[in-house]
Amino acid sequence: MKKIFFSLILLMATMQLFAQDNGVEMADSLRSSGKIYVVVMCIVIILVGLLAYLFSIDKRLKKIEKENHIGK
Amino acid sequence: MHKTWWKILGSVLVIYTAIAGLLLGVPHLAILNETIRNLYFHVPMWFAMIVLFSISVFYSVKSLSSKSEIDDIKAVESVNAGIIFGILGLITGAIWAKYTWGQFWSFDPKQNFAAISILLYFAYLILRNAIDEEQKRAKISAIYNIFAFPMMVVLLFVLPRLKDSLHPGNGGNPGFNSYDLDSRMRMVFYPACLGWILIGYWVYTIRFRIRSIENKQQHN
Q: Is the per-residue pLDDT at B16 higher than 80?
A: yes
pLDDT in tens, B142-201: 999 999 999 999 999 888 888 777 888 776 565 655 555 677 888 899 999 999 999 999
- Are residues A43 and B22, on separate chains, in Cβ contact within 8 Å? yes
Of B78-92, B94-108, B177-191, B196-210, which range is least confident? B177-191
Residue B29 lies in a domain: no
What are the domain boundaries of chain A? 31-72
Q: What is the pLDDT of residue B178?
A: 53
B30 Cβ neighbours under 8 A, 6+ residues apart: A24
CB-based contact, B19 to chain A, within 8 Å: yes
User: Residues for chain A: how many in total?
Assistant: 72
* Overall number of domains in chain B: 1
Residue B24 lies in a domain: no
Confidence of residue B65 (pLDDT cuts 50, 70, 90): very high
Phi-psi region of A23 (alpha: psi -120 to 50; beta: other; left: phi over 0): left
Give the torsion through C-alpha atoms of B104, B122, B145, B154, to 10 deg. Answer: -20
Distance in angstroms (rounded) separating the CA atoms of residues B39 and B175: 11
For B36, the closest chain A residue by CA position comes to A26
H or E stretch covering A30: helix A28-32
Which of A7, A9, A20, A26 to mutate to test binding with chain B, by most B CBs within 10 Å of its CB?
A26
Residue B139 lies in a domain: yes
| Domain interval for residue B138 | 45-183+203-219
The answer to whether the beta carbons of residues B151 and B106 sit under 8 Å apart is no
Residue B5 lies in a domain: no
Q: What is the pLDDT of residue B123?
A: 96
- Are residues B18 and A21, on separate chains, in Cβ contact within 8 Å? no
The answer to whether the beta carbons of residues B161 and B115 sit under 8 Å apart is no
Report, as an integer, the average pLDDT of A11-27: 60
Distance in angstroms (rounded) separating the CA atoms of residues B111 and B166: 10
Q: What is the pLDDT of residue A67?
A: 86
Q: Is the per-residue pLDDT at B36 higher than 60?
A: yes
In the chain, the amino acid numbered B185 is M
Residue B172 lies in a domain: yes
Distance in angstroms (rounded) separating the CA atoms of residues B81 and B216: 21
Compare CB distances from B183 to A15, A57, A64 and report the shortest one's residue.
Answer: A15
Alpha helix (H) ranges present in chain B? 5-23, 42-66, 69-100, 109-130, 134-153, 159-162, 176-179, 183-219
Q: What's the CA angle centered on B3, arms B81 and A1, to 5 degrees?
A: 110
CB-based contact, B164 to chain A, within 8 Å: no
Q: What DSSP state is assigned to residue B172?
A: T
Higher pLDDT, B34 or B11: B11
Confidence of residue B30 (pLDDT cuts 50, 70, 90): confident
Residue B196 lies in a domain: no
Residue B35 lies in a domain: no
CB-based contact, A26 to chain B, within 8 Å: yes
Q: Is the per-residue pLDDT at A23 higher than 70?
A: no
Interface predicted TM-score of the whole assembly (ipTM), two decimals: 0.72
Higher pLDDT, A4 or B143: B143
The answer to whether the beta carbons of residues B75 and B60 sit under 8 Å apart is yes
For B16, the closest chain A residue by CA position comes to A44
Q: Is the per-residue pLDDT at A40 higher than 70?
A: yes
Helices B42-66 and B183-219 meet at what angle, rounded to 10? 40
Residue B220, SS3?
A: coil
| Residue whose C-alpha is closest to residue B195's, from B25, B75, B44, B31 | B44
Q: What is the pLDDT of residue B31?
A: 79
* Phi then psi dihedrals of residue B53, to 5 deg: -70, -30
Distance in angstroms (rounded) separating the CA atoms of residues A33 and A35: 6
Helices B42-66 and B134-153 meet at what angle, rounded to 10? 140
- Are residues A70 and B206, on separate chains, in Cβ contact within 8 Å? no
Buried b (16+ CB within 10 A) or exposed e, A26-49: beeeebeeeebeeebeebbeebee
